Each structure stands twice: as C-alpha cells, then as structure tokens.
Structure 1
Amino acid sequence: MPGPIQSLERAAAILRLLAGGERRLGLSDVASSLGLAKGTAHGILRTLQQEGFVEQDPVTGKYQLGAELLRLGNSYLDVHELRARALVWTDDLARSSGEAAYLGVLHQQGVLIVHHVFRPDDSRQVLDVGAMQPLHSTALGKVLAAYDPVAHREAAESEWSALTARTLTDAASFEEELALVRARGWAADLEETWDGVASVAAPVHDRRRMPVGAVGVTGAVERVCDGDGVRAGLVAAVRDCARAVSRDLGAGRF
C-alpha cells in the first residue's frame, strides 16, 4: 500500500496551524512551527493561496485561512442538513407513492445520491447512496440543471452519452426540456436513463431560495406513468415533498 504524500501532509499541517492560535502567521512563524525550510513553506503557502485555501494580508504579509475553505465547509454542512431535513419527508414520499425515493445534489458534473429510501415492498433492492447519476438524462439532474446555473454549466460541459434510444443528446432539445421544467416546476425521465424505468423530481430550495438539491421517485414506467404521461398524483406527491423539505430549510411557503 502506498504511503502518505509528504507535500499533502505538510499542506494539511499548515492549514491546521492557521486554524488555531493567532490565525494570522508570517512565513517565518509557519516554517519554524512546523520545522520546515522557508522555501518549502513558501511554496506550499503559495499553492494554497492560488487555490483559495489561504489568503495573504497585502500589508503585513501574514497568512490566514481563505474563503474557499469556508465554501467547502458550508457545502458539507448544507448537504448533511439537507439530508437530515429530508429524512421524514422522503420516507413519507416512498410510503405514499409506493416507489423508491431519492435525494440528490450537484457533484462533479453529475448528481450525487445522498439519500435513498427503498420502495416499500418485499423486493430485493440495492442502496444507491453515494451513486452518481447523469445531469442530462435523469429527472434529478434536469431539475438541478434547470434551477442551478452552476449545474446548468456543468451539464453543458459534460459528455452527453446516449444511454437509451430516448436520451436527449443535443443542446437545443435539452434547453427546451429545461424551459419546460422551469415552467411546470418538475422534471421527468421517461426511459431516458434506463429502459423500462421512469422518474419524476422537483427542486429543493434553502432559506435564500437557492436550489440546493432535488427530490424524486423512480420506478417501473408502467407504474409511474399512465396514458397521459407521468401520473398526476405522483407529480403532486413529489412536489409536496420538495416544498416540505424546502420549508424545513427556511425557504418559506411557495
């Protein structure tokens, strides 16, 4: 098994050092505290500064933690708060719909499943928490791309593979689909990701009314759909769940 990478260990040590004590330290302070040569410490600090993890005071030249660490920390907290707030509501959604319920967030040009409630029957199912789904074909992904500008950009920059014969793979059709999602407030995946499988999803907003995730259900197309498309009752249940989670996050009524 390969050992730890020394440069990463040193960078982590510098971040921990800046997180405690005086919070603002000069190059000499950092180097002496960690037993590093000044040149080594300076190189690591400059790299951390370029990535936004460290900031340097232009007057004193001292270093402190950067805003990027705060953003990453808030992202971690937001995901866990989102999941915690959604637990009861997604359980209710799975029970009332009879289908598997999912909660997803944007991650690395895809949808990261952060919570999954099994379909309430006796069938064998696989837990999908931690799985990645595409932005361009899934209901969760379309919702994120429709409401979150960052997700929209990530979707546009990702490779759109044809997963089934129904998958949208051209930009114009995808933009039309996103406009429809925004107009009606929910997205559908009708055998666009997996043959025989359909999904419906709606956006979750936080107290700033910013999109922070998507919630939805997935099941066999013959159960999710009827002659008019996605079952109206299923759409209503998913949207009610998304609104309830959003209210718990402080979004208010909408």
Structure 2
Amino acid sequence: MDIPPTSPQLQALHRPSGVGVVDKAAAILDALEAGPTSLAQLVAATGIARPTLHRLAAALVHHRLVGRDLQGRYILGSRLGELASAAGEDRLTSAAGPVLTRLRDATGESSQLFRRQADSRVCVASAERPVGLRDTIPVGTRLSMKAGSAAQVLLAWEDHERLVEGLSGAVFTPTVLAAVRRRGWAQSLGEREPGVASVSAPVRSPSGRVIAAVSISGPIERLTRQPGRVHAETVMRAALNLTELVRSAETTSS
C-alpha cells in the first residue's frame, strides 16, 4: 500500500470532534479501509505520532476493531463485520418471526435465532412450543459459545485465529466443527444443558458470511439421540429461507 505523507482525503473525512482519542482512532480505521497497512504507512497517512499510533493500534487490536495479517500489517478487524451485521439486525429479526413459527410447526419443537455478540450468543427471536415439555429460551437470553449446536454453527466458519480461540474450553472438538462445515448443520446432545438436544443451521449475509444460526431444541427423549437425522433438512431449509429474505431485503433497501 502506497500512502502519501499527507492525506487530504483523511483530512476531509475528519473534522475534529473535540475528542482527540476518538478522532485518532477513526483516522486509523479510515486509513485501513484502503487495505493492509504497515505502522509506518499509518503514521504517514494519519499524521499521528508513531508512539501514539502504536498504542492506539494495539488497543484497537485488543477490541478486534483492527487485526493483523500474516505479514504483521494492520487490517480492519472482524468486530467491524459483526457491528455491520448488527446494524442490519432489524431486517433479520423481523423476517425471522414467520420463519421460526413455520419451523416450530413443522418440527413440533421450540425454534430460535441466535446471533454472536463478542464471546456469547444471544437469542434474538424465538417461537416457543405451545404445550408440553419444551426448552424455553426467551429473546435476549445470552448463552455460551462453548456448547450447543448454535455455538458450533456460529464458530465453524470463523477464520483460523478465532476458531482456535473459540475451541479453547469448548465442549465440542475441531473434528465436530469440520463435520459441521462439511454437511452444513450441527447437532448437540446435552452440551448446553443435560437432557436437551438441538439442531442448528447457518443464516448467511449476501456476501456469504455466517451471521446467525437457526435452531430447534427440546428434550432428547423426543428429538432422539440423532436429532440431525430427523430434523436437519427442515432446519437447513428454514435457515436458507431466512438467508434469502435477508438478501432480498438488502437488495430492496439498496
């Protein structure tokens, strides 16, 4: 990347807000929009003193707003993609209601939509089984990314660094996640809670990135010890339906 010593584009973008550290962080992110950048190039592009820029870049890396590539250059971080997805969450959750209701009716089990938020997964929409024994997960419930079929789906397609980090302390193994990627769905038996089984499949953004997981869950006695064999096709169809609705909504809004 070749950045001139002064950057009129960045100067035009950043009329100071009066909060210096925020202005500098924003300047760094704007410079990285052009692609992988060395520390020296960031200094040249932003005009920020090298020690200050190094300290700010380290803090942005810590919060995953900035990352490092294999050559050690700075790049935009994965957290920005998560925040961008969250900005479109209204479209996703509004489209999810009817899809989850149909999935519940087709399987007879409670259905949920999970999104990843930092080191947790959050239920952002659900359709509860109306009667009988059920696995109740209210909207807003925050669950671990270390167990459960939805956690497997939300982690399986991550980049190598986040995959390794996510597997640390997880109930599932790299072999399990490889199987999830191969077949396109996940199942769990008593991972999150004893006696509870679940099946999940990925919802993807128009770019193909996994942004959510559609799930059903209920007692093992009803879902059996091979819930994927019984329900995977139906859950995958619901996830694909939601993927297409999100793509259609984004195309319309564009």
User: Highest Rg: 1 or 2?
Assistant: 1
**1:33-57 residue CA offsets vs partner (Å, 9 max, x unmatched):** xxxxxxxx435644x4488599999
- Secondary structure of 1:250's aligned partner: helix
* Divergent runs of 4+, >6 A: 53-61, 66-70
Residues 126/140 of structure 1: CA separation in 2 closer, same or farther (3 Å cut): closer
Is 1:42 matched up with 2:52? no
Does residue 120 (structure 1) correspond to residue 110 (structure 2)? The answer is no
Q: Establish whether residue 239 from structure 1 lines up as the match of residue 229 from structure 2.
A: no
* 1:189 positional shift: 0.7
Greater Cα shift, 195-204 or 113-122: 113-122
1:80-229 paired onto structure 2 within 5 Å: 80-121=90-131, 126-149=136-159, 152-157=163-168, 159-160=169-170, 167-168=171-172, 174-225=173-224, 229=226
What is the distance in 1 between the residues matched to 2:156 and 2:83?
Answer: 25
Structure 1 gaps, min length 5: 1-21, 32-40, 161-166, 169-173
On the 8 A contact 1:189/1:199 being kept in 2, the answer is: yes
Deviation at 1:79, TM superposition (A): 2.2
Aligned-residue RMSD, C-alpha = 3.5
| Greater alpha carbon shift after TM alignment, 242-251 vs 185-194 | 242-251
State the distance in 2 between where 1:73 and 1:57 align.
Answer: 26
What is the aligned partner in structure 1 of residue 60 from structure 2? none
Deviations 1:199-236, CA, capped at 9 Å, x for gaps: 0000111211111111010000011116xx22634222
Moved more, 104-113 or 199-208: 104-113
Unaligned runs of 5+ in 2: 1-11, 33-41, 48-64, 66-75, 249-254
- TM-score (norm: length of structure 2): 0.65
Whole-Å separation in 1 of the counterparts to 2:227 and 2:81: 37
> In the aligned structure 1, how far is the partner of 2:82 from the partner of 2:202?
22
Q: State the secondary structure of the residue aligned to 2:131.
A: coil
So what's the TM-score if we normalise by structure 1? 0.65
Mapped to 1, the partners of 2:180 and 2:82 lie a distance apart of: 29
Asked if 1 retains the 8 angstrom alpha-carbon contact of 2:186 and 2:228, the reply is no
Q: How many residues align?
A: 200
Q: Do the aligned residues in 1 keep the contact of 2:85 with 2:211 (CA within 8 Å)?
A: no
How far, CA to CA, are the matches of 1:219 and 1:78 in structure 2? 29
Residues 102 and 113 in structure 1, CA contact (< 8 A), matched pair in contact too: yes
